[in-house]
């Protein structure tokens, strides 16, 4: 278990008139090498939860253990935790501050005291991983990059720390289809080629359906659903009730079902949806044909 | 890490209280009167009475007193340092004092200095407190509407009341957004291994660069987008602009004025004739 | 009616290195229509959007709003009153510290009497279901709510046209639904809606879909006409709506379904 969260509570602005409970006893375990997605409506506590994985918050109630480091203990080495878990915030391109891509990617390793020769290698590797050819992009000025490229450069800045776990907070927000594909491709490469554990927090259900092996649904600070994408997305009632809405494919299936087509709800993409509808049609035909004989 | 937690200054606590209901212009003027009055107090007792009065007002505004006091916390170190420095280096101002409490080399602490600076500290605290009080119980909208209305008195002599108010509104509107953004950038850099607030002065300044540069860039970006959005909504300065709300005084406002005047009259009569000047 | 006539635009047009963003775009948008302009970043769709209310003026060609040329300097404020804009980032377009004041910001700029501003503000907030959050600060609202505040601000200006520049691209799923629902409300009020988006399913309900690529208008027509050309769209790295994709696959599997199905209801008719 690389991440272990037990009974985690969090209160925002504790002790002020603006006090709000954000997390109410969250339990979550992530195995090494998994690709887990966390979804939930606005203010469900997703962003707060991921900050515990990076020791930006330390638990007051409950326990968070990251690769053996218990962050609820006073003796915890916060830097170790941050080197284990790389956290990519929403709109990470907003954190770029150096003039060139290479310098910005090198920032993390540099402050962590990595020797100079190794930093160079790490920068090249990280740029490679996000699909920015190091030879071309290392010396390029940040302001000369497109929106999607800036975001990938920022992701490289986190990858260069060589963490075991990468957490992405809404990585495709605001990008066009092309930009989105590039980011998702990067995440997939990091997961499959480098074997990193990936936690994908997303507002885009389509992205999650395509990427995740396991989905965790948060609502009002609690885990309300957990399972494979097929299991989770087919829970139409819960998804509607917590205000997340449905995956487009599931929406199609559930509308068909409402009109008396007895198709399974759990389809994640166009291919699967078409296949299931086709199979249903064949079965119906077979059934009615058989009945006629 | 939560930056917004200890900042009470400028935080509005919505309540349905008498204080909240007052006309913002009345609140601003009464507040200015009280703040001016602060500068005429020369006794500890005076500050104490004044403090109790402000507490009463906070209570009336249904704001938890502890929360109101919390805002003082970040200011305490500054106040203490200020007090000590003043005390240590002001000996020469009281050269002919007979009440020397401590003397060593150029340092000379006199009873008069202690009293003067203690009173100054009391004044600073109360000043801070009254500003907090005004902002905790007056919505930003109220404040800016009130300011605009008061400033428009100066319009004939060329005071751009509307524009000034607009600047204030936008500044206030973006404070929470920028605080959130600052928090996010700080966290993002910390997640990359950056240390915040350690080491000596030069190191600390260097540590702030990764935070300040993005913050500045994003603020420019926001400003640019905001200007476009405002122009798209036909904003062209204060000229020809009308307001949705017109402010009117009510009974409550007159009562508040009366109570404040009464308090000040009684208060200064007491300090002049009853309370000894040395208390 | 909006008429775009052979419009070309370059950023830094007078500099030695102008950046061409639009090339020979012609387009007509009738009153009450819902037009979706799709394309990816850099296709010129946002640049085109800014031409509809004189935030940008064409380098070549003309844009006419109800017969007024956007180049006519005297009419700029009339045009901006007629054509409202909703931008991508809800955080950077709200001006005031509370919802109600923000909705009133536009009409206040038009110099309308106080009572009338108040009335319009109330109406607009009611239409956008904001009355309950009227005294909330913008940063306390969800993304979908913020966009509804922006739309209410335009309603209160009594604009005839609303241009939305990727209003859903930074929102969560619920926020996206809120914006789409708001578009339906605008249409019911008889307002012309121009939606710039890269989510294809948002264009399904449009009367006209315009596809932009490299500053040119490469396709236009009804959603049915445009989405029938899945291959051409794919070559522009754009997709067709999911229902259409499913229908196309079913057709390939041998079912008798046309390739330009646009809704689940329609799909059912063929099953």
- Cβ–Cβ below 8 Å for B141 and C110: no
Put simply, the answer to whether C246 touches A176 (Cβ < 8 Å) is: no
Both tokens of A62, joined, read 């409950």
* Burial class for A133, CB neighbours closer than 10 Å (0-12, 13-18, 19+): exposed
Q: Is the ipTM of this complex over 0.95?
A: no
The answer to whether C267 contacts A243, with C-beta atoms less than 8 Å apart, is no
Are A94 and B5 a contacting pair at CB < 8 A?
no
> Which among C169, C242, C271 has the least Cβ separation from residue A270?
C242
Chain B: give the shortest CA distance to residue A226, in Å.
27
Taking an 8 Å cut-off on Cβ atoms, the answer to whether A158 and B192 are in contact is yes
Among B residues 196-215, those touching chain A with beta carbons less than 8 Å apart: 209-210, 213-214
B110 and chain A: CB distance < 8 Å anywhere?
no
Query: Which of B177, B234, B243 has the CB atom closest to C139's CB atom?
Result: B177
What one-character-per-residue DSSP string does chain B give? --GGGG--TT-------HHHHS-HHHHHHHHHHHHHHHTT--SHHHHHHHHHHHHHHHHHTT--HHHHHHTTGGGHHHHHHHHHHHHHH-GGGGTT-S-EEEEETTEEEEHHHHHHHHHHHHHHHHHHHHHHHHHHHS-HHHHHHHHHHHHGGGGGGT--HHHHHHHHHHHHHHHHHHHHHHHHHHHHHHHTT---S-SSHHHHHHHHHHHHHHHHHHHHHHHHHHHHHHHHTT--SSTT---S------HHHHHHHHHHHHHHHHHHHIIIIIS-TT-
Shortest distance, CA B224 to any CA of chain C (angstroms) = 9
- Alpha helix (H) residue ranges in chain C: 45-49, 76-82, 99-109, 114-127, 143-156, 173-188, 223-227, 230-235, 242-252, 264-269
Domain limits for position B38: 1-138+249-279
Distance CA B138, CA A152 (A): 44
A240 contact C CB<8A: no
How many residue contacts between A and C have a Cβ separation below 8 Å? Answer: 88
> Is B143 part of a structural domain of the chain?
no
Q: Best interface-test mutation with A: which of C39, C136, C165, C173 has the largest number of A CBs within 10 A?
A: C173
CB contact under 8 A, A173 and C170: yes
Residue of B nearest to A169 (CA): B188
| Chain C contacts in chain B segment 89-148 (CB below 8 A) | 139-141, 144
Task: Check whether residue B278 and residue B227 sit in a common domain.
Answer: no
A252 interfacial to chain C (CB closer than 8 Å): yes
Fold of C2-221: Rossmann fold (3.40.50)
Contact A281 C271 (CB under 8 A): yes
Clarify whether residues B25 and B114 are in a common domain: yes
Tell me the shortest Cα–Cα distance from A159 to chain B, in angstroms: 9
CB contact under 8 A, A273 and C246: yes
Q: How far is it, in rounded angstroms, from Cα B268 to Cα C91?
A: 49
Which residues on neighbouring strands pair with residue A3, listed in sequence order?
Answer: A30, A66
Contact: A270, C264; criterion CB under 8 Å: no
pLDDT tens over chain B, length 279 residues: 555 566 665 677 878 888 888 898 999 999 999 989 888 888 888 888 888 998 999 899 888 888 888 777 777 888 888 888 877 777 666 666 667 777 777 777 777 778 888 888 888 888 888 888 888 888 777 888 888 888 888 878 888 888 888 888 888 788 888 888 898 899 999 888 887 666 677 777 777 888 889 999 899 999 999 999 999 999 987 777 888 887 888 899 999 999 999 999 998 888 777 767 666
Chain C partners of A244 at a C-beta cutoff of 8 Å? 173-174
Chains with ≥3 CB–CB distances under 8 Å to C: A, B
Residue B6: predicted pLDDT = 60
Q: Is B167 on the interface with A (CB under 8 A)?
A: no
Do B70 and B115 belong to one domain?
A: yes
Least CA distance to B15: which residue of chain A?
Answer: A17
Instruction: Specify the number of domains making up chain B.
Output: 2
Q: Does A208 touch chain C (CB under 8 A)?
A: no
B235 touches chain C (CB under 8 A): yes
Asked if the Cβ–Cβ distance from B192 to A108 is below 8 Å, we say yes
CB pairs < 8 Å spanning A and B: 73
The closest CB to that of A248, out of C238, C242, C267, belongs to C242
List chain A domain ranges.
3-235, 247-293
- The residue in chain B having the minimum alpha-carbon distance to the alpha carbon of residue A11 is B2
Residue stretches of chain C with pLDDT short of 50: none
Residues across chain C: 271
Chain A partners within 8 Å of C255 (Cβ): 278, 281
DSSP for residue A246: -
- Facing A13 at nearest CB: one of B2, B188, B192: B2
Q: Does residue A25 sit at the C interface (CB-CB below 8 Å)? A: no
Question: B169 CB near a chain C CB, below 8 Å?
Answer: yes
What CA–CA distance (Å, rounded) separates A223 from A225? 6
Contact A174 C170 (CB under 8 A): yes
Q: d(Cα B2, Cα A255) in Å, to the nearest integer?
A: 44
CATH architecture of A3-235: 3-Layer(aba) Sandwich (3.40)
Contacts of A14 in chain B (CB under 8 A): 5
Would the CB atoms of C117 and B244 count as touching at under 8 Å?
yes
Cβ pair A89:B13 closer than 8 A: no
Query: Is residue B167 domain-shared with residue B195, that is, in the same domain?
Result: yes
User: In Å, how far are B20, B70, B219, B267 from B60, measured between CA atoms?
Assistant: 9, 18, 38, 20
Chain A residues with CB under 8 Å of B70 CB are 15-16
Mutation target to probe the C interface, by most C beta carbons within 10 A, among A17, A90, A177, A251 is A177
> CB of A43 within 8 Å of any CB in chain C?
yes
Nearest CA in chain C to A243: C174
Domain shared by B11 and B110, yes or no: yes
Q: Are residues B241 and B255 in the same domain?
A: no
CB contacts, 8 Å: B139 with chain C: 97-98, 135
The C-alpha of A231 sits at a distance from chain B's nearest C-alpha, in angstroms, of 33
Tokens 């956290």 label which residue?
A87
Position B2 scores a pLDDT of 59
Round to whole Å and give the CA distance between A85 and C110. Answer: 53
- Which pLDDT score is estimated for B267? 87
Torsion sign (Cα): A100, A105, A108, A112: negative
Q: Which residue of B has its CA nearest to A107?
A: B192
Q: What is the pLDDT of residues B233-258, one digit of tens each?
A: 999 877 778 888 878 888 999 999 99
Which chain B residue shows the shortest CA-CA distance from A161?
B192
* Residue B32 falls inside a structural domain: yes
B234 CB within 8 Å of a chain C CB: yes
Residue A55: what pLDDT? Answer: 93
**Residue length, chain B?**
279
User: C104 vs B230: CB contact, 8 Å cut-off?
Assistant: no
Chain A residue numbers touching B4 (CB-CB < 8 A): 13
B68 with B200, same domain: the answer is no
**All chains having 3 or more CB pairs closer than 8 angstroms to chain B:** A, C
**B23 and B49 assigned to the same domain:** yes
pLDDT above 90 covers what percent of chain B? Answer: 12
Per-residue pLDDT of chain A (293 residues; tens, 9 = 90+): 999 999 999 998 887 777 888 999 999 999 999 999 999 988 899 999 999 999 999 999 999 999 999 999 989 998 899 999 999 999 999 999 999 999 999 999 998 889 999 999 999 999 999 999 999 999 999 989 988 899 999 999 999 999 999 999 999 998 888 889 999 999 999 999 999 999 999 999 999 999 999 999 999 999 999 999 999 999 999 999 998 989 999 999 999 999 888 899 989 999 999 999 999 988 887 765 444 33
Number of B to C CB contacts under 8 A, please give it: 102
Residue of C nearest to A260 (CA): C268
**Residue C174 with chain A: CB contacts under 8 Å:** 41-42, 243-245
């Amino acid at each position: 278990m690389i991440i272990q969260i037990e009974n985690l509570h969090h209160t925002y602005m504790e002790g002020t008139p603006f006090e709000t409970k954000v997390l109410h006893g969250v339990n979550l375990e992530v195995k090494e090498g998994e690709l887990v997605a966390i979804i939930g409506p606005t203010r469900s506590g997703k962003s707060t939860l991921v900050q515990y994985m990076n020791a930006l918050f330390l638990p007051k109630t409950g326990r968070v253990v990251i690769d053996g480091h218990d962050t609820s203990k006073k003796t915890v080495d916060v830097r170790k935790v941050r080197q284990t878990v790389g956290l990519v915030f929403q709109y990470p391109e907003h954190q770029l501050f150096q003039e060139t891509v290479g310098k910005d990617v090198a920032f993390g390793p540099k402050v962590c005291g990595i020797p100079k020769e190794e930093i160079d290698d790490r920068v090249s590797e990280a740029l490679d991983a996000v699909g920015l050819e190091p030879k071309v992009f290392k010396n390029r000025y940040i302001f000369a990059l497109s929106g999607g490229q800036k975001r990938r450069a920022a992701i490289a800045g986190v990858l260069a720390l060589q963490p075991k776990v990468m957490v992405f907070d809404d990585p495709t927000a605001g990008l066009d289809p092309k930009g989105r594909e590039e980011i998702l491709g990067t995440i997939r490469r990091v997961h499959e080629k480098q074997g990193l554990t990936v936690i994908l927090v997303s507002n885009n259900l389509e992205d999650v359906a395509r990427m995740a092996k396991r989905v965790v649904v948060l609502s009002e600070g609690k885990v309300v659903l957990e399972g494979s994408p097929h299991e989770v997305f087919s829970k139409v009632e819960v998804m509607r009730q917590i205000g997340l809405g449905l995956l487009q494919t599931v929406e199609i299936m559930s509308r068909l079902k409402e009109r008396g087509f007895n198709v399974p709800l759990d389809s994640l993409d166009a291919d699967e949806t078409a296949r299931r509808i086709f199979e249903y049609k064949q079965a119906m035909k077979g059934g009615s044909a058989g009945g006629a004989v | 890490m939560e930056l917004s937690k200890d900042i009470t200054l400028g935080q509005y606590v919505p309540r349905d209280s008498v204080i909240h209901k007052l006309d913002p212009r009345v609140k601003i003027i009464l507040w200015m009167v009280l703040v001016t009055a602060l500068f005429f107090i020369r006794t500890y007792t005076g500050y104490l009475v004044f403090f109790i009065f402000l507490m009463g007002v906070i209570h009336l505004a249904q704001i938890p007193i502890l929360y109101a006091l919390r805002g003082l916390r970040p200011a305490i170190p500054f106040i203490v340092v200020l007090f000590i420095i003043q005390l240590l280096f002001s000996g020469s101002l009281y050269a002919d004092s007979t009440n020397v409490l401590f003397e060593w080399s150029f340092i000379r602490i006199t009873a008069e200095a202690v009293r003067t600076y203690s009173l100054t500290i009391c004044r600073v605290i109360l000043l801070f407190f009254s500003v907090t009080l005004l902002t905790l119980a007056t919505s930003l909208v109220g404040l800016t509407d009130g300011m605009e209305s008061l400033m428009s008195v100066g319009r004939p002599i060329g005071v751009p009341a509307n524009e000034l108010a607009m600047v204030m509104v936008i500044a206030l509107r973006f404070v929470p957004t920028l605080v959130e953004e600052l928090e996010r950038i700080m966290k993002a850099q910390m997640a990359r291994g950056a240390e915040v607030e350690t080491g000596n002065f030069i190191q600390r300044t260097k540590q702030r660069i990764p935070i300040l540069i993005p913050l500045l860039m994003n603020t420019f970006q926001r400003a640019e987008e905001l200007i476009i959005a405002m122009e798209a909504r036909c904003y062209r300065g204060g000229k020809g602009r009308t307001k949705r709300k017109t402010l009117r005084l009510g009974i409550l406002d007159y009562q508040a004025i009366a109570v404040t005047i009464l308090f000040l009259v009684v208060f200064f009569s007491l300090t002049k004739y009853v309370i000894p000047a040395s208390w | 009616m909006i008429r775009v006539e052979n419009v070309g635009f370059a950023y830094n047009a007078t500099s030695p290195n102008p950046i061409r963003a639009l090339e020979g775009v012609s387009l007509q948008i009738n009153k009450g229509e819902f037009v979706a302009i799709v394309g990816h970043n850099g296709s010129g769709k946002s640049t085109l959007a800014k031409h509809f209310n004189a935030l940008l003026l064409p380098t070549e060609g003309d844009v006419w709003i109800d017969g007024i040329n956007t180049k006519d300097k005297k009419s700029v404020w009339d045009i901006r009153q007629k054509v409202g804009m909703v931008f991508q980032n809800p955080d950077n377009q709200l001006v005031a510290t509370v919802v109600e004041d923000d909705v009133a910001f536009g009409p206040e700029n038009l110099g309308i009497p106080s009572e009338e501003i108040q009335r319009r503000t109330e109406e607009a907030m009611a239409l956008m279901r904001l009355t309950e959050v009227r005294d909330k600060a913008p940063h306390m609202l969800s993304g979908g709510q913020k966009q509804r505040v922006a739309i209410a601000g335009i309603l209160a200006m009594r604009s005839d046209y609303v241009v939305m520049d990727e209003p859903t691209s930074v929102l969560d799923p619920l926020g996206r639904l809120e914006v789409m629902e708001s578009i339906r409300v605008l249409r019911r009020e008889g307002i012309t809606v121009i939606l710039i988006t890269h989510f294809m399913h948002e264009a399904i309900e449009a009367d006209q879909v315009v596809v932009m690529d490299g500053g040119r208008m490469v396709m236009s027509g009804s959603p049915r006409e445009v989405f029938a050309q899945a291959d051409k769209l794919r070559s522009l790295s754009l997709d067709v709506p999911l229902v259409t994709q499913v229908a196309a696959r079913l057709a390939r599997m041998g079912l008798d379904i046309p390739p330009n199905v646009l809704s689940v209801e329609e799909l059912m008719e063929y099953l």
